[in-house]
């Protein structure tokens, strides 16, 4: 698929995306590839990663963060407490932030915005038992690329009224929205989110990875059929939007 813009965005399945900016920087959003059953094998390896963004601490979003960070040494943006946990694992170059804040990394201006979700990090204690670490709060990001194009990655969330504020303030050109239901928005909620955000190009995510994530792009199209000019860009895992 083509947007006629100087970046490319590859869907790695679930909520994971690889963005290559116009200046050639590689941004990985929600690093989960090795255990991600939707990620094509050939896309589990990277030549470089300049920036990693983490929406929250659940394994299906942070699963490969530590390994990939140690290998590629990217800048990493995450909420403050998740950065502390990453630092405790020996990860360098974390750039902690919180909701409402903006910072520029790898040429991309990042604004952290709300998401309505949980953020516990599953870890092991010194006896090898499972423990859940407080990871701060779940978030989404608005990315402003070098040419001004704005991308909103909602993270895992339900629909919430402040999406109207995200739409008013940042006017995203493209949004990645979860539609799978059970742990996030269903297509019905995602359609409501589209109306609040005023966005006209939407990539559905966080569906079909596991059987309980039952929402589909077809159901989203049906629920949002009243939205004039809306394009639902249903990428297959491995597919690139250019
Ligand atoms: Zn998730």
> What tens digit of pLDDT does each residue of 38-60 get?
999 999 999 999 999 999 999 99
Is residue 174 over pLDDT 80?
A: yes
10: CA distance to ligand 1 center in Å? 18
Distance 62 CA to ligand 1 centre (A): 10
Encoded tokens for 131 = 């423990």
Average pLDDT over residues 73-83: 98
Is the distance from CB of 135 to CB of 61 less than 8 angstroms? no
Cα–Cα distance, 140 to 126 (Å, whole number): 32
Residue 23 has pLDDT above 90, yes or no: yes
Q: How far is the CA of 30 from the centre of ligand 1 (A)?
A: 9
Q: Cα separation of 177 and 81, whole Å?
A: 24
Query: Rounded to the nearest whole angstrom, what is the distance from the C-alpha of residue 205 to the centroid of ligand 1?
Result: 10
Residue 129: per-residue pLDDT: 97
Q: Is the dihedral of CA 39, 37, 35, 99 positive or negative?
A: positive
Mean pLDDT (the chain, rounded)? 97
pLDDT category, 165, cuts 50, 70, 90? very high
SS3 for 145?
coil
Q: Residue 207 Cα, ligand 1 centroid: separation in angstroms?
A: 10
> Residue 4 Cα, ligand 1 centroid: separation in angstroms?
30
Residue 242, pLDDT above cutoff 90? no
- The answer to whether 54 touches 30, Cβ cutoff 8 Å, is yes
Give me the mean pLDDT over the 86-104 stretch. 98
From 179, 178, 172, select the one nearest 151 (Cα to Cα): 172
- 185 near 179, Cβ under 8 Å? yes
Residues bordering ligand 1, an ion, CB closer than 5 Å:
60, 156
Residue 2 CA to ligand 1 center (angstroms) comes to 27
> Residue 157 Cα, ligand 1 centroid: separation in angstroms?
9
Look at residue 2 and tell me whether its pLDDT is greater than 90. Answer: no
Per-residue model confidence (pLDDT) at position 24 = 95
Q: How far is the CA of 163 from the centre of ligand 1 (A)?
A: 19
CB atoms within 10 A of CB 22: 14
Residue 4 has pLDDT above 90, yes or no: no
Dist. CA 36 → ligand 1 center (Å): 11
Q: How far apart are CA 54 and CA 232, in angstroms?
A: 24
Q: Give the pLDDT confidence of 177-223 residue by residue, as tens digits.
A: 999 999 999 999 999 999 999 999 999 999 999 999 999 999 999 99
Cα-to-centroid distance, 107 and ligand 1 (Å): 27
Question: In the structure encoding, which two tokens stand for residue 180, read together?
Answer: 């799978």
- Residue 11 Cα to ligand 1 midpoint, Å, equals 15
Alpha helix segments (H runs only) across the chain: 59-62, 65-72, 80-88, 163-170, 187-197, 217-223
pLDDT value for 6: 85
Query: Which residues 6+ apart lie within 8 Å of 47 measured at CB?
Result: 26
Please give the distance, rounded to the nearest whole angstrom, from the Cα atom of residue 32 to the centre of ligand 1.
Answer: 10
Which helix (H) or strand (E) segment holds residue 53: the answer is: strand 51-53
Residue 5 pLDDT: 73
Per-residue pLDDT for 1 more than 90? no
């Amino acid at each position: 698929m083509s947007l006629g813009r100087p970046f490319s965005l590859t869907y790695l399945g679930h909520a994971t995306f690889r963005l290559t900016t116009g200046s050639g920087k590689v941004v990985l959003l929600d690093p989960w590839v090795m255990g991600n059953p939707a990620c094509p094998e050939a896309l589990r390896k990277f030549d470089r990663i300049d920036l990693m963004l983490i929406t929250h601490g659940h394994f299906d979003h942070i699963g490969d963060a530590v390994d990939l960070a140690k290998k590629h040494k990217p800048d990493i943006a995450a909420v403050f407490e998740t950065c502390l946990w990453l630092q405790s694992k020996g990860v360098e170059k974390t750039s902690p932030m919180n909701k409402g804040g903006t910072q520029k990394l790898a040429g991309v201006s990042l604004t952290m915005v709300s998401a309505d979700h949980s953020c516990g990090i599953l870890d092991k204690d010194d006896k090898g038992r499972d423990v859940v670490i407080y990871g701060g709060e779940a978030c989404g990001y608005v990315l402003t690329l070098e040419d001004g194009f704005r991308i909103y990655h909602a993270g895992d969330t339900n629909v919430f009224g402040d999406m109207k504020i995200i739409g008013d303030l940042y006017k995203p050109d493209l949004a990645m929205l979860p539609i799978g239901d059970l742990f996030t928005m269903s297509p019905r909620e995602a359609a409501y989110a589209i109306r609040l955000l005023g966005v006209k190009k939407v990539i559905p995510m966080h569906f079909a990875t596991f059987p309980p994530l039952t929402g589909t792009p077809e159901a989203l199209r049906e629920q949002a059929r009243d939205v004039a000019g809306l394009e639902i860009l249903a990428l297959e895992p491995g597919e690139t939007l250019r």
